[in-house]
Amino acid sequence: WRRAWQRSPVFLPGESHRQRSLESSIGYDAIIISGTEMAKQIQKEIQHGVDSWVSLGNRRPHLSIILVGDNPASHTYVRRKIKAAAAVGICSEIILKPKDVSQEELLDITDQLNADPRVSGILVQLPLPDHMDERTVCNGISPEKDVDGFHIINIGRLCLDQHSLIPATASAVWEIIRRTGIETFGKNVVVAGRSKNVGMPIAMLLHTDGEHERPGGDATVTIAHRYTPKEQLKIHTLLADVIIVAAGVPKLITSDMVKEGAAVIDVGINYVHDPTTGKTKLVGDVDFEAVKKKASFITPVPGGVGPMTVAMLLKNTLLAAKKIIY
């Protein structure tokens, strides 16, 4: 079962997760899940899906991205999405608007894209400037073209365990868990972070019924957030078989908070000053070097959930083009 995105040391034949986790206390490191390698594999699958769709005489999937203002991080993320789309054969366009664009103009654009049969997927890069209501704008995209899964209908269907376009970060975490073989059935999961676009959908996927229309992970999920006292958070994480951190707090999860053999998935994106280089560097929410000595599996930042999120957005774009959900 071991795949390219899991680096050594490997499980020996017959060795259980439990044995491995016990050994980790005497010096074994966690298996570091390479989101970069896993995303490459998924992108190959998507490219194959796009090729067969187009070879059957269908229109090539097309992703329209609306980008407002000059937030450098947003521009970087959008460039990454466009590049990844091109690599799997998905056409894309960026509709760039100045930061003082009106909400009405933005909604006119989404109306036009909704009605355009050449466009299969639409997303509005967030955050938007303060004079706009993100909820109204997200609801302006047709649910069937809403590749971010942020429309109220897609969120509602997700919460009802129905098929929907699922937010890409939540799908990325789900796919990492499934493809790595991390068990969730009857297990304790902590999700640290309750944002509507990340923490909430992750918790939704993991606690819901595995036999419903959109199968869930059947885990016992605890959701922690900014008002969970740190000592309470530790009580929960020490019970957890899987810890998923999407809080935006560097080193929120330290090794004393992790049970031996737990799987740790780091969704954090934090830019911090690196005193050794004098530059800014990207880190997650987990004290990676210490926690990897205790965990069974761990995702790094960068190179973990981030690249997987882009891959899952492309998967949503193909699903939207093929009208598989709606």
**Residues designated catalytic:** 81, 125, 148
- Of the pair 88, 310, the CB lying nearest ligand GUN is at 310
CA distances to 6, 75, 109 from 36, rounded to whole Å, are 11, 21, 34
Please report the DSSP string for 40-100 in residue order: HHHHHHHHHHHHHHHHTTPPPPEEEEEEES--HHHHHHHHHHHHHHHHTT-EEEEEEE-TT
Residue holding tokens 């899940």? 33
Give the pair of three-digit tokens for residue 321: 């083009």
Give the pair of three-digit tokens for residue 133: 């209501």
Binding letters toward ligand GUN, positions 100-119, x by CB under 6 A? --------------------
Task: Pick the stretch among 48-56, 121-129, 154-162, 211-219 that binds ligand GUN (CB under 6 A).
Answer: 121-129
- Of the pair 94, 126, the CB lying nearest ligand GUN is at 126
Q: What span, in angstroms and rounded, lies between the C-alpha atoms of 307 and 299?
A: 11
Peptide bond into 98 cis (omega under 30): no
Q: How far is the CB of 211 from ligand GUN (least distance, A)?
A: 29
Element (H, E) at 121: strand 121-124
Q: What span, in angstroms and rounded, lies between the C-alpha atoms of 132 and 150?
A: 16
Task: Specify whether the CB–CB gap between 103 and 133 falls below 8 A.
Answer: yes
Q: Does 148 bind ligand GUN (CB under 6 A)?
A: yes
- Of the pair 82, 126, the CB lying nearest ligand GUN is at 126
Please report the DSSP string for 162-193 in residue order: ---PPPHHHHHHHHHHHHHT---TT-EEEEE-
- Of the pair 181, 302, the CB lying nearest ligand GUN is at 302
Cβ-in-10-Å burial (0-12, 13-18, 19+) of 282 comes to middle
Task: Give just the sign of the alpha carbon dihedral 190, 178, 308, 130.
Answer: negative
Tell which residue, 165, 180, 216, has the closest CA to residue 41: 180
- Of the pair 148, 287, the CB lying nearest ligand GUN is at 148
Q: How far is the CB of 125 from ligand GUN (least distance, A)?
A: 5
Q: What span, in angstroms and rounded, lies between the C-alpha atoms of 7 and 202?
A: 25
Residues 82-101 that bind ligand GUN (CB under 6 A): none
Task: Pick the stretch among 12-20, 28-36, 49-57, 120-128 that binds ligand GUN (CB under 6 A).
Answer: 120-128
- Of the pair 88, 246, the CB lying nearest ligand GUN is at 246
Task: Pick the stretch among 123-131, 206-214, 238-246, 293-301 that binds ligand GUN (CB under 6 A).
Answer: 123-131
Which residue's Cβ lies closest to ligand GUN?
A: 126
Task: Pick the stretch among 13-21, 83-91, 124-132, 215-223 that binds ligand GUN (CB under 6 A).
Answer: 124-132
Q: Does 123 bind ligand GUN (CB under 6 A)?
A: yes
Q: Which of 125, 154, 180, 237 binds ligand GUN (CB under 6 A)?
A: 125
Q: How far is the CB of 31 from ligand GUN (least distance, A)?
A: 27
Residues 43-72 that bind ligand GUN (CB under 6 A): none
Q: How far is the CB of 22 from ligand GUN (least distance, A)?
A: 38
Q: Count residues contacting ligand GUN (CB under 6 A)? A: 6
CA distances to 144, 170, 191, 323 from 224, rounded to whole Å, are 31, 16, 6, 35
Q: How far is the CB of 124 from ligand GUN (least distance, A)?
A: 6
Residues in contact with ligand GUN by CB under 6 A are 123-126, 148, 168
